[in-house]
Structure 1
Amino acid sequence: MIDYSSVLSERVQELSPSGIRKFFDLASEMEGVISLGVGEPDFKTPYSIRRAGIESLEKGRTWYTANAGLKELKVEITNYLRRRFELDYNPVDEVIVTVGGSEAIDLAIRSLINPGDEVLVPEPCFVAYAPIALLTGAKVVPIPTREEDDFKLCAAALKERITDKSKLLIFPYPNNPTGAVMRQKELEEIAGVLRDTNIIVLSDEIYAELTYGERRHVSIASIEGMRERTILVSGFSKAYAMTGWRIGYVCAPAPITAQMLKVHQYAIMCSPTTSQYAAVTAMRSCDDEIRKMADEYDVRRRLCVGEFNRIGLHCFPAEGAFYVFPSIKSTGMSSDEFCQELLYSKRVAVVPGTAFGAAGEGYVRVSYSYSVSYLVNAIKRIEEFLQERKG
């Protein structure tokens, strides 16, 4: 018999499974569950995008593309970033089309990190950053964010954790799971801390189109002195309702993308060709579609924030993405206990805040990428759960 523990990678064996998938898998095995756990739009991919993908198949466009992606798509990505966020990138050597934003994150981290380098990670945050960094041999340095600061990364907290081994700052705004958004003034303060260092910023902007109110998303790459040290990661899954198409992109200075492209060439070859043709249409002509979806998310956001506060779970007024992060501290339960008991007693699945780092204890993540009626039903069950616990 083979002793598999002796032949498998020690680093991989030491990784914990995703806390999001744990509750999703539990819920999938139970009947009558309302799941608010997965961050996936409930909208169909806009028709014009689907039609473009179908047409690419009908015309037999099923071959490999260039490793970095279709030239046409890379041009449209740079046009989009200029139009929406006042960012300028060269489509020839500063853009790589990836298999979702997830591959872009992996490329960036693997292309930068040597064993022993420190990766600074604001928490709570998306579950993938720290595990990918650990696989490279990095030391992950969490930077807790607080509700009192609207879950934003504070310049002072960042400065305290920088050492001579700090290589990369993960910058996940708009934030999953909290919905926090960094504004111009706060970005300038972060930039002020970083300018005299060699630290690179991985700016995950997958939710850039999902910010609410009059002020639009501002990329840290647009702040003076930051473009040269920023790797911008984004994609089509969230804003365009294209999760299953698995298409994203990364933009960075050419010396960085040249190294990322090597990893992409050997691991992936190229992103799905059909998805790339569909993404051209998304970039070129779907600004109105993403605005309509964002407006609907805003309705759901305001519903959730108001309702959670009404039933006694204090809820930070999220400004971006499609998640709220209500506090469950008033129940006296841990995040994991709350989620377990809610799932088994009321058949509602939410994700414990600790799935997103230790700073998430005392909170749960609720996705509002679902219909209003679905959300209302779920919150009703959560209210019943709280009332029954009070006796």
Structure 2
Amino acid sequence: MKCFFFRRLSRSNQELQNKRSKKKKYPAGASKSTSSLASSPRSVSELYKEKEHNLKVLTLEELSEATNGFSRMQKIGEGGFGSVYKGTIRPQNGCGHPILVAIKRLNTRGFQGHKEWLAEVQFLGIVNHPNLVKLLGYCSVDGERGIQRLLVYEFMPNRSLEDHVFNNASPVLPWKTRLQIMLGAAQGIAYLHEELEVQVIYRDFKSSNVLLDNDFHPKLSDFGLAREGPVGDQTHVSTAVVGTRGYAAPEYVETGHLKVQSDVWSFGVVLYEILTGRRALDRNRPTMEQKLLDWVKQYPVNSSSFSMIIDQRLRNQYSIASARKIAKLADSCLKKNPEDRPSMSQIVESLKQAL
């Protein structure tokens, strides 16, 4: 559930900034001063307007028909944002078999619901990466019956990472599969941080937002809280503190200063979740074990007791050396000083080595 709570660049980040600056070319005969004005960073909304995308605009009637009137039998998820339904829509050209989709119907009580809906349309409208969920279309209705905001995504049949790691009724997710899922998720976030014209801070990385296709290939979902990163000499974005308790970086919770390193902290939390099989915050456990990060501190990575934190469902499926590497990587993501945390591209390389 979403809760409203609460200068130095690393070498790799500096190299990234240098790489971005090298991409800027000045037209022949133009002065640097006039060209720099022309090449100022464009916002996500500007990029969205300029991009040729194939998002389908659907009517409320079409989406109601696709979900049997938003039947409870079709509901596959629910959260602070609203409800998600399984449905089928006609192909873009009207030919061929119906397409299986996930339809998110947002709660639109007040401005926040529309703001999150618009953020998802714009951010997913400009991105293109195999580890980010595809937005296929949307619906926006302002009528006598109130405001309706809906989003249509590709359907992910294996639900989320959360469903497999914490649900004892599900088959045990193998250690190697867990690492492959985290590698794909890291590649998706690295793309947002480092490869777009505008830097994107995901701001809501958690196991329930890592969706899985038929082959357990991961795709990040739910971009309603995503924000554009700092530009120029800025080191952070100042914003209201939103997110999910247990995953948000402490410096962001305390100050409202949002950085790409905030996503890195959240990634470290999820690394410990797949290692331990425990949630970041679990009120059903004894008091001393409710906060995952506090609990794992009792079993340091190089101690003889470290293996006690590893998910018991894994039994002998994992290498203790690999598990230690993942715990060390998680610890580096959870450094108190944000600038001491690795970049997402460094995390990608570490996960490849662990695999």
Please, what TM-score do these two structures have when normalized by structure 2?
A: 0.27
Q: Quick one: higher RCO (CA 8 Å, sep 6+), 1 or 2?
A: 1
Relative to its length, the structure with more helix (as a share) is 1
